[in-house]
Structure 1
Amino acid sequence: MITLIMAEDHQMLIDGVTSFFEFDEEIKIIGSVNNGEDLVKLVALKQPKVVITDIRMPKMDGIEATKRIKKQFPHVHVLTMTMFDQPEAIKQMLQAGAIGYILKNSGIKMLSKAILTVSKGEKFFDPNVAFNFLNDFIDDTITIGKSEKVVLSNREKEILLLIAEGKTSQEISENLFLAKSTIDTHRKNMIRKLELSSGSELVKYAIDMKYQF
């Protein structure tokens, strides 16, 4: 059994992942926290096999938390799950001691594969991050996830940008000269495509991805 602790400042994402693995026979979530300080404390208390952590968190970010965890408990394997695909962010997490790095929009199947891989002490990388700077970290144990990148239509991207600006479905419908029911349908389709759990998760995703389209 792979014991797992998850650190993420959005509780809804934790709840979604926890729900998915609730009856999994290989992976068991034994704790979750919303900031880096509590992550270090909980790891010290429970010493899981794998830690999933975001980078940006309150009190202590994932980079510093990973450094402290790996210094005290080198046998604990750290998997980064974040929206940040910038080279510097990836480098800092790997230098801190993480051996896995996936993006939040990669899907639950890739997350499962990443957990299983890093639990064996092997490296796992999302295929949608740049690898031209990772030569120092790549070796025979590396696994590159199979790309399951979600492709949104131009209309969906347009709606997502308006969602990121805080507009309601009614406001978006008026802006795009479409029926409100059409906007609601697009919202539901994006939640399904992106494997999100709710409308509020879609809003968070829209804000995080606002400048990446």
Structure 2
Amino acid sequence: MITIAMAEDHQMLIDGVKSFFEYDDEIQIIGTVNNGEDLVKLVSLKQPKLVITDIRMPRMDGINATKHIKKQFPHIRVLALTMFDQPDAIKQMLDAGASGYLLKNSGIKMLSKAIVTVANGETFFDPNVAFNFMNSYIDENVTIGKSEKVILSNREKEILQLIAEGKTSKEISEALFIAKTTVDTHRKNMIRKLKLTNGNELVKYAIDKKYSF
């Protein structure tokens, strides 16, 4: 089990991440806070396997919080989750002791991959920052996330949004004034396009897109 403490000053993002991993058998969020000072206290109290932290936060930023955490608990892994893609920010976070760097617009599926990679003692980089930074700082022993674009129709996107809101096929059909069988067909097509295996995975994907960073 990968236990996680998370620091993020936007509660909506925290709620989205917690919702996605609520029933995950491998990943467990054991505590969340909204600033760096409280993160250091939380880590000291619960000693999770992994810390997810933003960089810019009130009272103490993620860079200084990471320095404190790594000094006290060098075995605890740190993953940065931020909007900053500047090389200076990345370097400061890595120098502080982080083992992963992910942008908030990457989506929860890539976050899940980053969590497992970093928890296993490896380094993970968002593909949108890795190649700009590769030559100067990142060595070859890292995992770089892969961006995969899937083209959904406008109707499929509408249905996906309603699935994320917890609506059934019948409720979706009524909301969009289409037959329930049409909704079911769209569901099957999306499962095929997205290379998923069943409806439950489609629901997870829908939630992922609803809470995209």
* TM surpasses 0.5: yes
- Which structure has the bigger radius of gyration? 2
- Residues 20 and 207 of structure 2 are in contact (CA less than 8 Å); yes or no, is this contact kept in structure 1? no
Aligned residues: 159
What amino acid is the match of 2:209? E
1:25 aligns with 2:25: yes
Specify the SS of the correspondent of 2:18: helix
What amino acid is the match of 2:111? L
1:84 aligns with 2:84: yes
1:120 aligns with 2:134: no
1:49 maps to: 49
What amino acid is the match of 2:73? F
1:39 maps to: 39
- Residues 106 and 148 of structure 1 are in contact (CA less than 8 Å); yes or no, is this contact kept in structure 2? no
Query: Where do 5+ consecutive residues of structure 1 fail to align?
Result: 152-191, 206-213
Report the TM-score, using the length of structure 1 for normalisation: 0.69
Specify the SS of the correspondent of 1:131: helix
Offset of residue 149 of structure 1: 6.8
Cα distance in 1, alignment partners of residues 39 and 207 from structure 2: 30
Cα distance in 2, alignment partners of residues 138 and 88 from structure 1: 13
Specify the SS of the correspondent of 2:131: coil
1:195 maps to: 209
Offset of residue 147 of structure 1: 1.5
Specify the SS of the correspondent of 1:58: coil
Cα distance in 2, alignment partners of residues 27 and 41 from structure 1: 21
1:131 maps to: 131
Query: Where do 5+ consecutive residues of structure 2 fail to align?
Result: 152-205
Cα distance in 2, alignment partners of residues 149 and 129 from structure 1: 17
Offset of residue 38 of structure 1: 0.1
Offset of residue 136 of structure 1: 6.0
Cα distance in 1, alignment partners of residues 25 and 208 from structure 2: 25
Going from structure 1 to structure 2, the CA distance change for 1:194 and 1:105 (only over 3 Å counts) comes to: farther
Going from structure 1 to structure 2, the CA distance change for 1:150 and 1:97 (only over 3 Å counts) comes to: farther
Higher helix proportion (structure 1 or 2): 2
- Residues 150 and 193 of structure 1 are in contact (CA less than 8 Å); yes or no, is this contact kept in structure 2? no
RMSD: 2.2
Offset of residue 72 of structure 1: 0.5
